[in-house]
Amino acid sequence: MTATLNRFLVPVLAIVLSACAASPDEERAERRLKRAAKANTELGVEYMKEGHLETAEGKLKKAIEQDPDSLRAHDAIAVLYGRVEENERAEKHFKKALSLNPDDSRTHNNYGLYLCQTGAYVRADEQFRQAASNPLYSGRLATLTNAGVCANKIPDVEKAEQYFREVLETAPDFTPALLNMVSMSYEQGKYMSARGYLQRYEGVARYNAESLWLGVRIEAALKDRNASGRYGLLLKNNFPDTAQAKSLQEWENERRNR
């Protein structure tokens, strides 16, 4: 009886598998949908970068409709919902993306940024650590810098510094970490250290409104009025409409009125 049963098992299994297999036409249709989903995801991300959030949402929703298992589409729409504080939707799509690939470093980083934005600093740190645990992840240095920025918001200055130093040990010229060390050193009253980090930053990057505003205050704290004035002039001439230029004007008014 067993031999008779075994003779029937394989044919029945073969019939079941044959019934479940997709036809060539179905496979082609599925591939077309996946390509369309990829294209809509890319469009959605571009629209989001440009600030066209409603259009971006439409493209990303379409991508998920075309390919419900598109990790990148779920990750992108989660970022979008986080930006507009649709927190329940953001959480849902981040979790869906990570259910599709629990080791996706980009999603862990983006989830960490979202959690930090909402004040969930401990959970954010867990996500950043998970993202950075992959030594092959191309965004690892940025993730560690994000972790440092988030730690500084707690504030946990020691942990923030550890993250920034870890980045700079690997890449001494990584400008986001350098600029954060300038800012942290200034805030702690370590003005010589802040000057040193700013000089390192200026050696590898073009100045911007934030670096110039830091330079103004660092050099003023070190009693170098000429250097402070040079930074101030560069800020006014090159970035007149920025928040930093406005802060500089207010700062100068206060000093004159003392």
What is the biggest distance separating any 2 CA atoms in the chain, rounded to whole angstroms? 104
Question: CA 144 to CA 126: how far, in whole Å?
Answer: 11
CA angle 46, 37, 99 (to 5 degrees): 95
* CA dist., res. 256 & res. 250, Å (int): 10
Distance CA 156, CA 147 (A): 11
155: cis peptide before it, omega within 30°? yes
Per-residue burial over 58-82, b if 16 or more Cβ lie within 10 Å, else e, is ebbebbbebbeebbbbbbbbbbbbb
pLDDT (tens digit per residue) in 52-90: 999 999 999 999 999 999 999 999 999 999 999 999 999
Residue 20's pLDDT is what? 56
List the chain domain ranges.
172-258
CATH class name, domain 172-258:
mainly alpha
Q: Enumerate residue ranges in the chain where pLDDT < 50.
A: 1-18
Residues 6 or more apart whose CB falls under 8 angstroms from that of 129 comprise 147
